[in-house]
Amino acid sequence: MLTRPLPLAAVALLAALALGGCGEDRDPGSTETVPEVGACRDLDADDVAASSNDTEPVACTQAHTAETFAAGDLPDEFAETEYDDSALGAWAYDTCSEAFRVHLGADESVVMRTVLSWAWFRPTESEWDDGARWYRCDLIGGGEQSPSYVDLPAGTEGLLAGIPEDDWMACADGPTVAGSPKVPCTEDHVWRAVTTIKLGEPGDDYPGDRVSEVQTRDFCADSVAAWLGYPESYDYGYTFFHEAEWSTGNRRSVCWARTSH
């Protein structure tokens, strides 16, 4: 039935990695040009797809689709690394995804079921060659399958704590979950992401596509039935991920209920 996160967060996958500028003659390790945490920007999908970003911040009380929730100097181990080194991408995924969850006040299941995602940015290639070594993690008001990004509130810390508002939770509007636009649950929709299943621990090997799908399917059949109150008949969908996502740290699949509320 399905296949990313969904936006879901972002899932943020390594495909969603990205980050922005730095000054000349910067010594590696300097914090002089590290981006400001809490800065807001009005980014679009093209901005998020880039590796670097120098969009000027705007007041967080103005319309904006992104907020920086983590930033800093890269560890010394990356002082001599190549710009597109996969180890750098893996480090950024771990760092930004954990900071994303903590910033929003959410557990792993909620993070997988939100329309919010994140992107990371680093200096431009020329700045990197000159020694710039910093990262920036931005919370984004949408994901890869969102028709458009939504505006964020003036502050997003703790936004998903407790019972999150439907404005920030993921629903899908289409005959099936796969390929359908992911929208906030306050908009018209057919499907709602209601639960997740954890398929393994951090050190576990990838179980394979077939095992992942069967475990996800069987769990979601029971989980969605319980969420709906065990009706006589119901429809459900699921999103499971593959080895590439597993290698970046994702161990969860998402269950969807067919519902209009």
Question: pLDDT per position in the chain (261 positions), as tens?
Answer: 322 333 344 333 333 333 333 333 334 444 458 999 999 999 999 999 999 999 999 999 999 999 999 999 999 999 999 999 989 998 998 899 999 999 999 999 999 999 999 999 999 999 999 999 999 999 999 988 888 899 999 999 999 999 999 999 999 999 999 888 899 999 999 999 999 999 999 889 999 999 999 999 999 999 999 999 999 999 999 999 999 888 878 899 999 999 877
Residue type at 173? D
Q: Where are the domains of the chain?
A: 14-258
Tokens of 229: 């109150």
- CB atoms inside a 10 Å sphere around CB 162: 9
Q: What is the signed CA dihedral for 171, 173, 174, 179, rounded to 10 degrees?
A: -60
CA distance 96 to 178: 26
Query: From start to end of the chain, where are the E strands?
Result: 40-41, 66-73, 117-121, 134-140, 170-172, 182-184, 191-198, 236-239, 252-258
What is the structure's pLDDT at 16? 35
Nearest-angstrom CA–CA distance, 115 and 192: 11
**How far is the CA of 94 from the CAs of 11, 118, 226, in angstroms?**
12, 12, 32
Give 183-210 as a 3 state SS string: EECCCCCCEEEEEEEECCCCCCCCCCHH
